[in-house]
Amino acid sequence: MEAFPQAPRPFIDLSTGINPHAYPLPALPGALFEQLPQRQDTESLEAVAAQAFGVAQPQGLMAVPGTQALIQRLPDLLRSRNIGILGPTYSGHSAAWNHAGASVSELGHLQDLHGFDAAIVVNPNNPDGRLVEIADLEILRQRNQYLVVDEAFIDLMPAAASFAARAALEGSNVMVLRSFGKTYGLAGVRLGFGIGAPAIINALRRSFGDWAISGPAQFIGKTALADMAWRQAMAERLERESQRLTHLLGRAGWADAGGTMLFRLARHEAAGRWFRHLARHGILTRPFAGAQALLRFGLPKGEDEWQRLGDALSTGP
Average pLDDT over residues 174-189: 98
Q: Classify domain 31-226 at the CATH class level.
A: alpha beta
What integer pLDDT is reported at residue 225 of this predicted model? 98
Segment (H or E) for 202: helix 198-208
Residue 150 β-bridge partners: 122, 177
pLDDT above 70 covers a percentage of the chain that reads 100
> Which pLDDT tens digit goes with each residue over 200-246?
999 999 999 999 999 999 999 999 999 999 999 999 999 999 999 99
Domain covering 12-21+229-315 assigned CATH 3.50.30.30 in the classification: no
Domain(s) labelled CATH 3.90.1150.10 in the chain stretch across 12-21+229-315
What integer pLDDT is reported at residue 195 of this predicted model? 98
- Distance from C-alpha of 228 to C-alpha of 224, rounded to nearest angstrom: 8
Average pLDDT over residues 278-302: 97
159: Cα separation from own chain's centroid: 16
> Which pLDDT tens digit goes with each residue over 136-177?
999 999 999 999 999 999 999 999 999 999 999 999 999 999
> Which pLDDT tens digit goes with each residue over 88-106?
999 999 999 999 999 999 9
Alpha-carbon distance values, 186 to 79, 144, 167, 196, 306 (Å): 32, 34, 26, 24, 21
Average pLDDT over residues 275-297: 97
Domain(s) labelled CATH 3.40.640.10 in the chain stretch across 31-226
- Distance from C-alpha of 297 to C-alpha of 19, rounded to nearest angstrom: 12
In this predicted structure, the answer to whether residue 290 has a pLDDT above a threshold of 90 is no
> Which pLDDT tens digit goes with each residue over 22-69?
999 999 999 999 999 999 999 999 999 999 999 998 899 999 999 999
In this predicted structure, the answer to whether residue 316 has a pLDDT above a threshold of 90 is no
What integer pLDDT is reported at residue 25 of this predicted model? 94
Three-state secondary structure of 31-83:
HHHHCCCCHHHHHHHHHHHHHHHCCCCHHHEEEECCHHHHHHHHHHHHCCCEE
* Average pLDDT of every residue of the chain: 97
